[in-house]
Amino acid sequence: MSVDVSPDGQSIVFDLLGDLYTLPIAGGTATQLTGGMAFDAQPRWSPDGRLVLFTSDRDGGDNVWTIDAATRAMKQITKGKTSRYRSPAWTPDGQYIVVARAPAAIGPSKLYMYHKDGGAGIQLIKDPSPMPAGAFPMTTLGPAFTLNNDWQFFMGYRFGVFNYATSALGGSVIVNQFAVS
């Protein structure tokens, strides 16, 4: 279950058993945003509080979508049938979406940025090419931004070693590494 608070602090959006709901922050009755056979998950309010970003398999593949909270109009942001998308996030200006994308159901994911209206997207985090002998690709997940849009935070790991990293947009990556046993 994923939960996000609206920018005005008046409501939350959450996923439950593959559907999305909103609920007043003070409590009350939940309002269903999505339903049906699709598995909708990981909702995030847009900075203006109008749209909800989420992942869904509603077109037969795992992709990123938005839904207008008032009109229920949906828009598919990414296209494809084989990639896996996780932990979508809005940039603070609401113009772009950053999401962890893996080329298949199993395998390392990398952060990609897409315009809110869709498109091919650009890969933000890359492994060295060629990979050093014995090195494993890094999986990157959980993008988050500071409010002034200067820094992006994310988590990455390589087979049991977690890296909590920050990156100045357009700058270098700073990694804090923790071994997991």
| pLDDT tens-digit readout, 139-162 | 888 888 876 666 566 666 555 544
- Residue 8 makes CB contacts below 8 A (sequence gap 6+) with 49
* pLDDT value at residue 171: 40
Q: What is the chain's mean pLDDT, rounded? A: 84
Cα atoms in the Cβ-side hemisphere of radius 13 Å centred on 42: 21
CA distances from 146 to 49, 66, 86, 87, 121 (A): 17, 22, 20, 16, 21
Backbone dihedral region of 179: left (phi > 0), alpha (psi from -120 to 50 degrees) or beta? beta
Q: Would you identify the CATH topology of the domain 3-131+139-147?
A: Neuraminidase (2.120.10)
**Residues facing residue 164 across a β-bridge:** 155, 176
Q: Would strands 96-102 and 84-90 be described as parallel, antiparallel, or unpaired?
A: antiparallel
pLDDT band at 28 (very low <50, low <70, confident <90, very high): very high
* pLDDT value at residue 151: 59
Residue 123's identity, in one-letter code, is Q
Cα(154)–Cα(64) distance, rounded to whole angstroms? Answer: 18
Note the pTM of the prediction, 2 decimals: 0.82
Which residue's structure tokens are 């007043």? 24
* pLDDT value at residue 158: 57
Pair 153, 145: CB distance under 8 Å: yes
CA distances from 110 to 95, 107, 138, 181 (A): 20, 10, 8, 24
* pLDDT value at residue 39: 97
